[in-house]
């Protein structure tokens, strides 16, 4: 499986890694339709999207029975990629109605967790939601055009990114990125990071579409994140901790210094960065090592691991999400396990049952990316 040296942003061509394995296009298209239907319109053992009334809808974290900014922003990205403006607008309307904070320490951000009735479980934000909201809103603006607030997507995205960088300059609140090292924080009022939050391929586009005074920051942030991933991922296994200090060392103060659920997204993010902006050799090495580490492991036996590869007894909560992320990494990988990772993904159905939400979000993103449908809308 070849690695793209130039990304789709420059060439306009998106790799279809599934077709490269000989899977017929009609089967790929059918899988895309079936997965959307299962997650957005399916039965109660499969769906994760729920419409509300005439103009609202939410994505449910089925394991925790809450609505998260992560899931809402993921759902918006899925909807814009599928061309489903109706679903996108329902999700964004719910988000803006219930999650957007207009006062207090985190004014301008979105509450990371709400109940399905819209009442808040937390008044704190999670930066992975904000960066996905901004990217999905830019894509919506470019694909469908802007409407009246809050459906003036482009302005909403630019305003949100301005808040992410400049919140706290007036003495209240905190920015979501450290202004000195340009690294995204785990939460605004801390000084450490989460490697899976690093999306340099998003920042490259923010550098084009954010307010002009912020564009240099985003360009620098893209390079800072690529460099950070190199030091946060283990040099032999490629595994990243869930939380890490700015020097890349695991932050295990709260038990999150190991390879577990959040960490899975690192491989997927590197894959999409490679697909959109071309392979970065530093990151190619990371995903090659991750795929090699999992090559002899069965999904039924995936576990929590120290980043050096030592396993814990605890099994993975989201094995389907892990194998999906590792397959998505094949868009940037150059090792001998890339094709097998994609084949394993194609043989695996979406997850059903209580823990399905996170697994199937990663699954749908992998399906979009590997089929060449996870696109930059300019």
Residue 172 designated active-site:
no
What residue ranges in the chain does DSSP mark as E strands?
A: 49-52, 56-59, 67-68, 113-114, 303-305, 311-315
End-to-end CA distance of the chain: 28
Are 76 and 84 in contact by the 8 Å Cβ rule? The answer is no
Bond from prior residue into 326 cis (ω within 30 degrees of 0)? no
Which structure tokens are listed for 199? 């999306």
119 alpha carbon, distance to own chain's centre: 25
What distance lies between CA 30 and its chain's CA centroid? 24
In the set 89, 131, 204, 262, the catalytic residue is 262
Measured distance CA(176)–CA(164) in Å, rounded:
5
- Residue 262 annotated among the catalytic residues of the structure: yes
With the C-alpha atoms ordered 378, 102, 92, 355, is the resulting torsion angle positive or negative?
A: positive
Of 269, 231, 222, nearest to 250 (Cα)?
231
Write out the two tokens for 347.
């043989």
d(CA 145, CA 205): 17
Structure tokens of 358? 């996170």
Contact 65, 116 (CB under 8 A): yes
Which residue out of 61, 66, 70, 280 is catalytically annotated?
70
Of 343, 277, 285, nearest in space to 20 by CA: 343
The set of catalytic residues is 70, 262
């Amino acid at each position: 499986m070849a690695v793209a040296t130039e990304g789709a942003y420059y060439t306009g061509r998106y790799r279809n890694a599934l077709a490269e394995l000989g899977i017929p296009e009609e089967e790929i298209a059918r899988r895309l339709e079936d997965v959307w239907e299962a997650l957005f319109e399916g039965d109660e053992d499969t769906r994760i999207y729920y419409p509300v009334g005439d103009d609202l809808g939410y994505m449910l974290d089925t394991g925790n029975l809450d609505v998260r900014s992560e899931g809402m922003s993921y759902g918006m990205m899925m909807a814009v990629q599928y061309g489903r403006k109706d679903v996108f607008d329902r999700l964004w309307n719910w988000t803006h109605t219930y999650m957007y904070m207009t006062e207090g320490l985190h004014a301008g951000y979105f509450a990371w967790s709400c109940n399905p009735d819209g009442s808040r479980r937390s008044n704190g934000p999670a930066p992975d939601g904000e960066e996905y909201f901004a990217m999905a809103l830019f894509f919506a603006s470019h694909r469908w055009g802007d409407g009246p607030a809050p459906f003036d997507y482009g302005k909403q995205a630019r305003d949100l990114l301005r808040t992410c960088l400049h919140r706290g300059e007036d003495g209240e609140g905190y920015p979501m990125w450290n202004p000195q090292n340009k690294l995204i924080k785990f939460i605004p009022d801390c000084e450490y990071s989460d490697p899976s939050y690093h999306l340099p391929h998003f920042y490259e586009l923010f550098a084009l579409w954010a307010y002009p005074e912020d564009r240099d920051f985003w360009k620098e942030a893209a390079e800072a994140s690529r460099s950070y991933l190199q030091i946060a991922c283990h040099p032999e296994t490629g595994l990243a901790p869930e939380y890490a200090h700015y020097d890349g060392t695991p932050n295990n103060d709260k038990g999150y210094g190991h390879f577990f659920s959040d960490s899975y997204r690192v491989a997927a993010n590197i894959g999409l960065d490679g697909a959109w902006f071309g392979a970065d050799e530093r990151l190619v090495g990371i995903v090659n090592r991750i795929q090699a580490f999992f090559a002899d492991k069965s999904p039924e036996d995936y576990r929590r691991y120290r980043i050096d590869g030592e396993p814990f007894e605890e099994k993975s909560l989201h094995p389907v999400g892990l194998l999906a992320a590792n397959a998505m990494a094949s868009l940037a990988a150059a090792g001998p396990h890339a094709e097998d990772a994609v084949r394993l993904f194609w043989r695996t159905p979406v997850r059903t049952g209580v823990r399905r939400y996170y697994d199937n979000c990663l699954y749908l993103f992998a399906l979009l990316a590997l089929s060449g449908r996870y696109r930059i809308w300019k």
